[in-house]
Amino acid sequence: MAPLLLHLGFVRRVLGVCACLLVYVFAARGRAQEATGQPPVALPEVAAGEAPGSEVAPEPARDQPAGQDKPGRVFGVLPNYTTVDAAARAPRITSKQSFRFAIENSLDPYVFPFLGGVALIGAGQGANDYSRRYATAFADKTLSNFMTTAVLPSMLRQDPRYFQRGSGGFWQRAAYAATRTVATRSRSGRAEVNFSEIGGNGAAAAIGTLYYPASNRSAADALARWGMQILWDAASNELKEFWPDIRGKLRHE
């Protein structure tokens, strides 16, 4: 009975952290919602090697071509709501949209079985340990999504979306995708250091010490989780960049 009570207490702590985060971000979204009436401003693609501080001239917004799949999912399964197709022009993002992206990426139906697979790592342990790993994985993903997609981008006025390069050689595009973890654009289109990605994942790793077991709360453990999440995001960027090519091959286009 005692181990069960300890396990339930751990789950309650995880759920409590998630609940507090959701309350905070919804309140912040209400405060940060921008005034309406401003015309949408298109943000053309910022070249991978463009020097930070250079301004990008706005262009009229243009929707994606009719009949073209929206980049909402990769392989029809993995959430991909924050990707802007290379052939499209996206209007300036708002804080409200940033929070909506974070919610969609955290609560997408396909996320839950994916987290179940992540929690299976460490086979041979009891059912209580599996549910604990699942709760921890869900909390980690939710914290990371909100911090890197909504909270810090709203505070720093950065754009959390991934803008596909879509042109150039394989290595050029791969390098561009990899560098998006450290380089991004402001809402006005200016190239900037991606403090939202770096700082957001760092904050999520630090908050994780509130619900991880005592044996995994050291600074080294938090740094390892921070680095691993950035690596995951870098790999995700590569998939986002080359997904149109993969999709075309699968459809024999």
* 4, two tokens: 């069960």
List the domain range (segments joined by +) for residue 199: 2-33+70-250
Does any domain span residue 184?
yes
Instruction: Count the domains in the chain.
Output: 1
Q: What is the pLDDT of residues 219-244, one digit of tens each?
A: 999 999 999 999 999 999 999 999 98
Closest among 116, 141, 142, 109 to 130, alpha carbons compared: 116
Does any domain span residue 57?
no
CA 64/CA 118 separation, integer angstroms: 34
CA 17/CA 210 separation, integer angstroms: 8
Does any domain span residue 223?
yes
Q: What is the pLDDT of residues 72-117, one digit of tens each?
A: 688 878 888 899 988 778 889 999 999 999 999 999 988 898 888 8
Does any domain span residue 55?
no
Q: Where does the pLDDT of residue 127 fall: very low under 50, low under 70, confident under 90, or very high at 90 and above?
A: low
Closest among 207, 204, 194 to 227, alpha carbons compared: 204
Closest among 21, 20, 60 to 40, alpha carbons compared: 60
**pTM of the predicted protein model:** 0.70
Does any domain span residue 43?
no
Does any domain span residue 161?
yes
Residue with structure tokens 């286009």?
253
* 244, two tokens: 């149109």
Does any domain span residue 218?
yes
